Amino acid sequence: MSGWSTKDIPDQSGRTFVVTGANSGLGAETARALVDAGARVILACRNTVKADAVARELGERAEVAALDLADLASVRSFADGLPGVDVLINNAGVMAVPLGRTADGFEMQMGTNHLGHFALTALVLPKVADRVVTLSSGMHQLGRIDLDDLGWERRRYRAWQAYGDSKMANLIFGQVLAERLTAAGDSRKSLIAHPGYAATGLQGHTESIMDKVMVVGNLFAQSAADGALPTLFAATAPDAVNGTFYGPTKLFGMRGAPGESGFSGRARDERIRTGLWTASENLTGTSITL
């Protein structure tokens, strides 16, 4: 896959993709590349006004559906109305925001980035024909998931730690789902991707000194279009391997063409993996049965 780019995406005519958070940044660039390859793309977004503008630009094979991952009622409504699709791309997310709560009382980052996508995947997986791709981040390396306080109700809140926890949860979820699919003899795939250091549109909203740091850092970041390449590879390449974590392959995984990415050994902690899955089922009231 050396030098893999959007030119290497196979013809996607007749295939349908769901991309969460496709109204800007990585999601919009992912949707754009898929439409260019012939796919039909459902832009599943909270901000439907911005999503409508993207869909108009992309043309008749792009459509918008309302989805707020911070509200399980919205997730269920979206899932109920979704037709059969080929690929679900769990792309949407928030990064290092001040302490807040979802409609269901979850800490905003774990609730949006992981629990919302967990519930969405559980509800729509029977309608997914080919694969699920879940976005993590190199910042998963910060992850120290506290199973006794997933909601940051007893600890002093630390925004970047909470973000790292949510991205570790995304990685673990994608890996465990892959293992469960294989164990069930299911030919579908679960893959995980990260964009490296890309100008995604998430930067600058942390309400901390890091906003200014990241704005300067964006001068050296790769574009959102390049950051979307690992997602696109995971979502379309016939030889993408179930359970694999894909990301940029140059500059310590920060930029470059997509390839297999290393990850923190904490993602292999069986206590955390099992506990996170069980907690996710209990908190969202959903389960994945294969």
Options 3.40.50.2000, 3.40.50.880, 3.40.50.720, 3.90.76.10; CATH for 6-282 is 3.40.50.720
| Cα separations in angstroms, 52 against 20, 28, 36, 224 | 14, 11, 17, 19
Helix (H, G, I), strand (E, B) or coil at 191: strand
Higher pLDDT, 217 or 187: 187
pLDDT in tens, 99-150: 999 999 999 999 999 999 999 999 999 999 999 999 999 999 999 999 999 9
State the SS3 of 220-236.
CCECHHHHCHHHHHHHH
Closest CA to 47 of 80, 79, 24: 24
Angle at 252 between CA 268 and CA 218, to 5 degrees: 115
Contacts of 107 (CB under 8 A, 6+ apart): 99, 100, 101, 150, 151, 152, 157, 162
Catalogue the E-assigned strands of the chain. 16-20, 40-45, 62-66, 85-90, 128-135, 189-193, 245-250, 255-260
Its sign, for the CA torsion 220, 223, 228, 229, is negative
* Cβ proximity of 192 and 242 under 8 Å: no
Euclidean distance between CA atoms 172 and 78, whole angstroms: 24
Q: Does the pLDDT value for residue 201 go beyond 70?
A: no
- pLDDT band with cut points at 50, 70 and 90 for residue 221: low
Beta-strand pair 85-90/128-135: parallel
Give the model's pLDDT for residue 210.
Answer: 47
What phi and psi, each to the nearest 5 degrees, are found at residue 74?
A: -65, -40
* Cβ proximity of 166 and 123 under 8 Å: no
| Cα separations in angstroms, 69 against 20, 44, 50 | 9, 10, 16
Count of alpha carbons within 13 angstroms of residue 171, beta-carbon side: 31
CA dihedral 246, 252, 255, 258 (to 10 degrees): -30
Q: Does the pLDDT value for residue 151 go beyond 50?
A: yes
Its sign, for the CA torsion 189, 199, 162, 43, is negative
Euclidean distance between CA atoms 99 and 31, whole angstroms: 30
Higher pLDDT, 222 or 110: 110
pTM: 0.92
Delimit the domains of the chain by residue range: 6-282
What phi and psi, each to the nearest 5 degrees, are found at residue 267?
A: -70, -10
Give the model's pLDDT for residue 3.
Answer: 87
Q: Is 163 a catalytic residue?
A: yes
The DSSP code for 157 is P
Closest CA to 113 of 244, 202, 235: 202
Give the model's pLDDT for residue 257.
Answer: 81
**DSSP symbols for 227-288:** HTHHHHHHHH-TTPPTT-EEEEEETTTTEEEEEE----GGGG-HHHHHHHHHHHHHHHT---
